[in-house]
Chain A
């Protein structure tokens, strides 16, 4: 599992300031390959997060021919969304629960069975995130970077086929963010059967460093204005010439086609 496809999706919100609705998507179509690390790039407000919310079933499009995960429409098969993990821009942890309890909240909600497996899963992924010692701390007792790691554990712990990430590192300091980026990539690249990760960002170097596929969106109503695969092996560093070339190209695309200077 892990292939995502949207066919002719339209979405608009009523606009309180004008009679014209806010059109986010109009006949938007996209296909994301199974096992890819796909980056969605675009200027702010171009409907990148909206895209994740549609796939996750949090938002229903105004109209759509299909919202498919592995060929099945999630609107008719909402259970498909239980096999996804979602990492938000902030950690969004429940402050009155320890890191472990926060992760259990996710497992409980997604209905991961059998319950006897939880401790094993929890310990495995906390160890991967380097948080074993802090499982029983409250979010307020650990740093922002550790909170975000716990949020990643929460998304990853049920071993989802699809991982949705909405600018997960944008509010962290650059050093912590760089560390988490390389950890995430190696975690993903290491697995035999890779998960599909859809990663939303407006950070171009982040995309050049991590992505297997890059999709650039225009301002709303969003359309794909550029798409390419990047086959530089991981781990990449931002000082690699090849990575730097990609970054340059992406900046160019942004300026020329997405209408944004960066």
Chain B
């Protein structure tokens, strides 16, 4: 990490010497300070960051729930799984900007566009992971549940969800990371506020240091969420499945 910063410094400060376009570490650090103090030419940075995070969170949660439920259904019903295989490609292959433009035309400028675009894009990987997880559920356990007449609620809560929990964690990680990227793009393309708008403003000024500073902040945020939040759930899920404690042999 330290080496990377030194290389960055040497290249930008000593070789390129165009700090507006190729910002030096010192400049970026200064901009980081300005961002954290809340100052920007377009109003409070915290308000912008809050708007971005709110969109990300709402869309992530919606996509997670929708993708998981649909994925479980598709994983259990083979014809639906086959059918969804082609639909999934629409979600995977269409670039985020295209979604944003399409939804801009449909909904006009506002919060709906980035949230809907995000939901569409994030649901896909969540759906795929959950469907694969549900397909892999042990047939013997399903038969057991049928024999004990478990209703759909109990099957969902006691069997399907715990069985696909590892898949859900992986889904959450992928979707959240993808979400950070997509929400910024949506905001750059056409929104009245958010981190994306600030990034676009500085890019239009041809002053790149704040752009890089925001990039650094997003990386840190993504890293913290991944390590702490998902890491926490991962540990919990391991404990719940009774992570291999020594076998009790006193019979």
Contacts and interface: CB of A to CB of B under 8 A. Distances in A.
Given A58-B146, A141-B247, A143-B247, A94 B162 contact: yes
A139 interface: yes
Nearest to B144: A92
Tier of interface size on chain A: 20 to 34
Interface in A91-136: 92, 94-98, 105-106, 108-111, 130, 134
B149 A138 contact: no
Nearest to B158: A105
A10 interface: no
B141 interface: yes
B242 A109 contact: no
A81 interface: yes
Interface string B150-162: 1100100011001
A10 B163 CA distance: 36
Contacts of B240: 96
Interface in B133-177: 140-141, 143-151, 154, 158-159, 162-163, 165
Contacts of B159: 94
B241 A140 contact: yes
Nearest to B243: A140
Interface string B222-251: 000000000000000000111011111101
Contacts of B151: 109
Contacts of B144: 86, 88, 92
A137 B248 contact: yes
A108 B153 CA distance: 11
A221 interface: no
A166 to B, nearest CB: 10
A95 B242 contact: yes
A142 B147 contact: no
A63 interface: no
B248 A109 contact: no
A139 B242 contact: yes
Contacts of A105: 145, 148, 150, 154, 158
A170 interface: no
Interface of A: 56, 58, 81-82, 86, 88, 90, 92, 94-98, 105-106, 108-111, 130, 134, 137-143, 145-146, 154, 176
